[in-house]
């Protein structure tokens, strides 16, 4: 599963958004919980890097909570 907003470009590592803004393209490597997943390649933002992503605006139950395994 790949993630990119605003469609694909010739360079598959970057998607172009509104007003020419570039956005990296990531692939989900594994699902941690309903609202947390690992991506490939690592993200980099404001001098920090990582592989775990938790999208803003989503809130699934934690894995150990009621409904967590389903989420």
The tens digit of pLDDT for each residue in 2-60 reads: 444 333 334 455 556 566 667 778 898 998 888 888 999 998 888 999 999 888 888 88
What was the pLDDT predicted at 44?
A: 87
Residue 61 to residue 24: CA distance in whole angstroms: 28
CB 33 within 8 A of CB 60: yes
What was the pLDDT predicted at 19?
A: 66
Beta strands in the chain (DSSP E): 2-3, 14-16, 22-24, 26-33, 36-45, 48-53
What was the pLDDT predicted at 15?
A: 58
Cis amide prior to 41 (ω within 30 degrees): yes
For residue 40, the SS3 value is strand
What was the pLDDT predicted at 52?
A: 92
What was the pLDDT predicted at 54?
A: 86
- Reported pTM: 0.56
């Amino acid at each position: 599963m790949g993630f990119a907003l605003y469609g694909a470009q010739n360079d598959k590592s970057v998607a172009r958004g509104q007003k020419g803004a570039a956005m990296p393209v990531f692939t989900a490597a594994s699902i941690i919980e309903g609202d947390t997943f690992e991506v490939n390649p690592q993200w980099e933002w404001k001098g920090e890097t990582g592989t775990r992503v938790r999208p803003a605006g989503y809130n699934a139950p934690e894995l150990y909570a009621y409904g967590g395994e389903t989420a």
